[in-house]
Amino acid sequence: MDILISIVEAASKDEFPGYDRVTVIRATSLVIITAGFDSTAVTLTWAIVLLLNNPETLKRAQEELDLHVGRKRLVDESDIKNLFYLQAIIKETLRLYPPAPISLLHQSTEDCVVGGYTVPKDTLLIPNLWKLHRDPNVWSDPYKFRPERFLTDKKDIDLKGQHYELLPFGSGRRMCPGVSFALQSLHLTLASLIQGFELAKSSDGPVDTSEIFLLTNNKASPLDVLLRPRLSSDVYHVDA
């Protein structure tokens, strides 16, 4: 906020025609908060859907938590670095269901050839992340939920925009500025949920995975989950 306020106060009035500085600061803050909450919620929803449809993956993630954290305390942010399978689940979820299936506008800085097509300098580009993440030339079984790929042949791929086969947060100067906070929130929230509760489907059959492509990649129907405490009651107690 300090940086945002400093930038806006240093700018001339001509840079924000029709708006005062307070309005610009408030609007910018609202957009950042809304985008962060929406995309994080969408990703967590898809992670739960995938775990419900793949109970063996959920069981393995819970076993990893039991091994590195145990059942006598709640998982903490400092534990995430040891939960490699959980990290792989988040990566695989973001691969299959990037929160924004279509990336922001980019512009080519020089003439180049992509897939046999000449792309002139200054061409506006809209990357299709959903399609890119399911490219069979890059990913084996591209439509299958398989977190193990990020523990083997794809283990060196990160989510910071340096590996172009996986770009859920974009890349370059227009990359999502909240990537670090998003990853912290996603890992800790999902770890807390599956450590503290047994998850079950509310009906027989697989959970529906139909998508609605809006600004974010939403699940078409509401997600219903049955939760049952997994730890002893004293672990959930937090002193005020």
The predicted-structure confidence for 27-78, as pLDDT tens digits, reads as follows 888 877 777 777 889 999 999 999 999 999 999 999 999 999 999 999 999 9
Range of weakest confidence among 41-50, 83-92, 160-169, 192-201: 160-169
- Which pLDDT does position 198 carry in this prediction? 97
Q: Exposure string (b/e) for 116-149, b if CB count within 10 Å is 16 or more?
A: eeeeeeeeeeebebbebbeeeeebeeeeebbbeb
Question: pLDDT digit string (tens) for 79-133?
Answer: 999 999 999 999 999 999 999 888 888 888 999 998 899 999 999 988 899 999 9
pLDDT band at 238 (very low <50, low <70, confident <90, very high): low
Confidence of residue 239 (pLDDT cuts 50, 70, 90): low
d(CA 229, CA 197): 5
- Which of 83-87, 155-159, 168-172, 221-225 bottoms out in mean pLDDT, i.e. has the lowest? 168-172
Secondary element (H or E) of residue 125 = strand 124-125
Chain center to CA of 133: 13
Mean pLDDT calculated for residue range 164-183: 85
User: Alpha-carbon torsion 133, 137, 140, 142, what sign?
Assistant: positive
Tell which CATH classification among 1.10.3720.10, 3.30.390.50, 1.10.630.10, 3.30.460.20 matches the domain 2-99+132-236.
1.10.630.10
Q: What is the mean pLDDT of residues 151-173?
A: 90
Residue 120 pLDDT:
95
- Rounded to an integer, the average pLDDT of 173-202 is 91
Q: What gap in Å lies between CA 66 and CA 40, rounded to an integer? A: 25
Q: What is the pLDDT of residue 29?
A: 84
For the entire predicted model, the pTM comes to 0.86
